[in-house]
Amino acid sequence: MPIRTEPMTVNVGPQHPSTHGVFRLRITFDGEEILEVEPVFGYLHRGTEKLAEERNYVQVVTLTDRLDYVSSMINNQAYCLAVEKLLEVEAPPRAQWLRTLTAELQRIASHLMGVGFFLQDLGTLGTPLMYCFRTREKILDLFEMLCGARITVSYMRPGGVFWDAPDDFWPALDNFIQEFPSEMGEIEQLIMENEIVLVRTRGVSLLPLDLAINSSVSGPVLRASGLAWDWRKMEPYDAYDKVEFDVPVGSNGDNYDRLWVRIQEMHQSMRIIKQCIQQIEPGPVRLELPLVFHPKPGAEAYGRVEASKGELAFYLVSDGGVSPYRCKIRSPSLINLTVTEHLLVGWKLADMIVTLGSMDINMGEVDR
């Protein structure tokens, strides 16, 4: 005989790991079934956009590191492309290759964290997460060789990169490339055919393609729903027009597909890295720009990249001064959260935790 219950509204979060930082959900339950969802965010109060309007164009690079802080190289890249459009300049070829190479290393590192914490939310108690950390640490070692930092790198600059890769970087990168297939093989063998993972993810929290498009969702979340949309293909930047890679696409738009797409994208990133190594040529890595420059008054630019979580863009407006008159950030984590209610209503509390993990959000770029 079913037990009659009254709906109850509960605050879930903010805490780690199940709500991924400073993120709260006001949920109405009937038993464990979710009836209504109201996402609540805005706890960080970073003010990145306003801070950018008080610093010169080069100083803003350090602010971009702290948006999606597990994808700081790509944040640098998006901002620098916007500034270069504002100045009507282009980075030297070697700098473009280095940017592409480091951005793909960062994509792998970001996806490793997305996959690892997704499985942690599912209840794997640490083992797959540690496997992902093991591989990511080697990428952070490479970043440390490049710029002395591991997380908030500030490696890229308007007009190129901070400096060239040191001699010992290339052998270390070769070692990473040699070790990556076996380490990824261990991760995939551990999770992709695991019966518990399959039962908890397949057919759970489906995102139809039409809703994903209408909600402006992007990145792996969009591609998991069946659309092969990737700005590296649609509007290539830096050296992406000189490399070949495939765009992995899911079919169901469920939690499993979002996991599967990220794993496949790591393999494609490795393809791009190998091509960068083969094609990069000696040359300057940075334009001779003044430390403080003044774009034309009234100039505006929109710099867009395919970040690890989706479309990341910076919209800059110049008034002729040393700082942007206006800086607006289009962050993928914020836009992707617009489908939260659709993904969660009708499912249970335990499914909610797993679904949020499949979205791979980072509140640093949500509360910017």
Compute the distance between CA of residue 241 and CA of residue 265 in angstroms, rounded to an integer: 17
pLDDT exceeding 70 applies to what percent of the chain?
98
| Helix, strand, coil content of the chain in percent (nearest 5) | 50, 15, 40
Compute the distance between CA of residue 290 and CA of residue 158 in angstroms, rounded to an integer: 10
- Helical H runs in the chain? 48-52, 60-65, 72-87, 93-122, 127-147, 169-191, 195-201, 209-214, 220-224, 231-234, 255-279, 332-336, 340-344, 349-359, 363-366
Assigned token pair, 44: 């960080």
- Judge whether 18 lies within some domain: no
- Judge whether 228 lies within some domain: yes
What is the CATH number for 196? 1.10.645.10
Does the pLDDT at position 20 exceed 80?
A: no
Compute the distance between CA of residue 275 and CA of residue 278 in angstroms, rounded to an integer: 5
- Judge whether 196 lies within some domain: yes
Does the pLDDT at position 15 exceed 80?
A: no
| pLDDT tens digits along 85-122 | 999 999 999 999 999 999 999 999 999 999 999 998 88
| pLDDT tens digits along 312-362 | 999 999 999 999 999 999 999 999 999 999 999 999 998 998 999 999 988
**Domains held by the chain: number:** 1
pLDDT attached to residue 301? 97
Does the pLDDT at position 21 exceed 70?
A: no
CB 30 within 8 A of CB 17: no
- Judge whether 13 lies within some domain: no
The CA dihedral of 217, 222, 228, 232, to the nearest 10 degrees, is 60
| Region for residue 88 given its phi and psi (left: phi exceeds 0; alpha: psi -120 to 50; beta: otherwise) | left
- Judge whether 264 lies within some domain: yes
Work out the pLDDT band at 64, boundaries 50, 70, 90.
very high
Question: What are the distances in angstroms from CA 359 to CA 220, 227, 256?
Answer: 9, 16, 11
Work out the pLDDT band at 213, boundaries 50, 70, 90.
very high
Q: Which residues contact 325 (CB under 8 A, 6 or more apart)?
A: 53, 317, 318, 319
pLDDT attached to residue 307? 97
Mean pLDDT of 172-193: 94
Please state which of the ranges 10-19, 273-282, 287-296 shows the lowest mean pLDDT.
10-19
Compute the distance between CA of residue 307 and CA of residue 204 in angstroms, rounded to an integer: 25
CA-based nearest residue to 34, from 358, 339, 349, 343: 349
Work out the pLDDT band at 12, boundaries 50, 70, 90.
confident
pLDDT attached to residue 43? 82
For residue 327, the surrounding DSSP H or E stretch is strand 326-330
Mean pLDDT of the chain: 94
| Region for residue 304 given its phi and psi (left: phi exceeds 0; alpha: psi -120 to 50; beta: otherwise) | beta
- Judge whether 343 lies within some domain: no
| Length of the chain in terms of residues written | 368
CB 201 within 8 A of CB 256: yes
pLDDT attached to residue 14? 80
pLDDT attached to residue 183? 95
pLDDT attached to residue 125? 82
Compute the distance between CA of residue 341 and CA of residue 348 in angstroms, rounded to an integer: 13
CA-based nearest residue to 92, from 336, 302, 289, 362: 289
- Judge whether 235 lies within some domain: yes
Question: What are the distances in angstroms from CA 268 to CA 184, 262, 264, 265, 361?
Answer: 13, 10, 7, 5, 22
Compute the distance between CA of residue 254 and CA of residue 359 in angstroms, rounded to an integer: 10
pLDDT attached to residue 41? 85
Q: Which amino acid is at 13?
A: G
Mean pLDDT of 283-292: 94
Residue 211 domain boundaries: 50-330
- Judge whether 337 lies within some domain: no
